[in-house]
Structure 1
């Protein structure tokens, strides 16, 4: 028997990312929609940030939170997609051990940060709809800044034990990761040690962090819906509900694949690996792509500003 998979090494110099095992021949074709989505992520989120920065009418808490979300989405997708595409296109599968842990940290840090920003945006919608006269006094620029920093710090602290624990395990089986990126459970599962601490901590973050965020968002939107149904006119109810429905679409697009991927990887062992990997990539790509599209299309101020930028030279061309 070859001893290539039994050589003991406490910290391998590199890991090998296998991509999507079982679909190796389709890697190039799979990379095409991933690449298109990544381009949309870059264009959409940079456009949102540019418009909020240059348009004074968008200097409000909702759009500040949207800018924070755009930065988070850019970091979250950029931490995984370039390496994934280089794997699919150029077979560049090696990743340094420390770089793998950094990638792992960024994914979990900014996933938690994004979840926290959805809570902040739900709070903003709650104050704007349920306490409109006090909105500007409650959510001042100073308060918005502190909330944003708190969400980033929370994500940074919650994600810190992931790479610390992963670094301390001895790896003696193989350095091949059957994933497109350094996903936490995929990495620590290679350790030849009792990794229950890593498993339990990941479950703790999932239940205490994301579940609390989902509960707070649900509570906020319950109060918002109650306020909507008390509005005097049907047009006002439809307009307000339309604004909130776009937020709910973004939130669902983030939490459903995130929770599904995390829970299925831990408790359902008979699902095809390529299916779990695909779902794991969905929550890294789809929400960052959808956020600027949904907010840009459904938000009148952003839509108007974008049309002004696109049609700025129109009258001169046809005059």
Structure 2
């Protein structure tokens, strides 16, 4: 079946001549890309299992119902949402050749991806603020980082990202798609979709760049500022042991930040070059949406004493149940 001819509308009554897009998958490896479905499926299942386990552990342990772990629980929900936005569709492409995606579904995916990525950035900022107050103002920490503040910060991030990312799919939907409809990607990315437009797509590129700097750019700037203040406060401590203990509470958070923003920068740079439709940027784009949800719980479980102990307790209980 010719996907191209099947996806062109004959009627001129619609603004769109193209009624659907075709997601081709990874550029240059179409013949064997289905072999990637196994590691992607395993990463997805591990992301769902690990994040769900983190949420259960936090919920069942009153000692873990502290601001740092509550923010971690919110991050777990964001991570599961991000992974679910893209992985089921990618697996459907690989397993069932379900490459067709309607325009509304495509634009909805663009919105969801940008929303969850923005939420992840925002929650990482909230966690950085939590660490700043805990280390720089420990006596005032209980009165500053309250349940009310956590709720307000989370709602603010939801509203901010919900509003911020709206122009991206709206502008993409306003483009005129009148010729090609095959996307060299596994998912609907804003720039990948609008590259098929017959009219000027510069507003989309400019909009994405501006919103990225206003959202994630401001988040990263404030995160860097918070860690500069943390480092300054730690260096003023007379005890090397106290300084090491203070910094150790930030290690897992720093690991997540470095990975998340490094890949964001790499993807942004590749979009400004001629590498947009090549394998590496597309693969990085997919991995950026699935690896953090898989690794974030593991990083925190390994590097946070309280969470590690809770994990060991759960695993011991499961082992004991299996043996009995």
Query: In which range does the TM-score fall when normalised by the shorter chain?
Result: over 0.9
Identify which of 36, 50, 68 aligns with 2:56.
50
Aligned-residue offset at 1:314: 6.5
Alignment of 1:8-47 (within 5 A): 10-11=15-16, 12-47=18-53
Q: Which residue of structure 2 aligns with residue 209 of structure 1?
A: 215
Identify which of 140, 164, 172 aligns with 1:158.
164
Partner Cα separation in structure 2 for residue 60 and residue 117 of structure 1: 15
Partner Cα separation in structure 2 for residue 166 and residue 272 of structure 1: 18
Deviations 1:56-91 (A, max 9, x none): 011111111111111110001100001001111221
TM-score (norm 2): 0.92
SS at match of 1:95: strand
In the alignment, is residue 180 of structure 1 matched against residue 186 of structure 2? yes
Q: Which residue of structure 1 aligns with residue 296 of structure 2?
A: 291
- Number of residues of Structure 1 aligned to a counterpart in Structure 2: 317
Q: Is the 8 A contact 2:7 2:21 kept in 1?
A: no
TM-score (norm 1): 0.93
Q: Which residue of structure 2 aligns with residue 311 of structure 1?
A: 316
Aligned-residue offset at 1:233: 2.5
Q: Is the 8 A contact 1:111 1:155 kept in 2?
A: no
In the alignment, is residue 274 of structure 1 matched against residue 284 of structure 2? no
Alignment of 1:122-271 (within 5 A): 122-265=128-271, 267-270=272-275
Deviations 1:122-173 (A, max 9, x none): 0000000000111110011011100011111111111111111111111012
SS at match of 1:25: coil
RMSD of Structure 2 on Structure 1 (CA): 2.2
Structure 2: 5+ residue stretches without partners: none
Q: Is the 8 A contact 1:87 1:93 kept in 2?
A: yes
Q: Is the 8 A contact 2:276 2:282 kept in 1?
A: no
Aligned-residue offset at 1:270: 4.5
Partner Cα separation in structure 2 for residue 6 and residue 121 of structure 1: 46
Change (3 A) 1:50 1:299: same
In the alignment, is residue 112 of structure 1 matched against residue 118 of structure 2? yes
Partner Cα separation in structure 1 for residue 321 and residue 205 of structure 2: 62
Partner Cα separation in structure 2 for residue 5 and residue 212 of structure 1: 44
Partner Cα separation in structure 1 for residue 91 and residue 134 of structure 2: 42
Q: Is the 8 A contact 2:54 2:76 kept in 1?
A: yes
Aligned-residue offset at 1:287: 1.2
Alignment of 1:28-107 (within 5 A): 28-107=34-113
Q: Is the 8 A contact 1:6 1:174 kept in 2?
A: no
Change (3 A) 1:5 1:317: closer
Question: Which moved further from structure 2: 35-44 or 104-113?
Answer: 35-44
SS at match of 2:193: helix
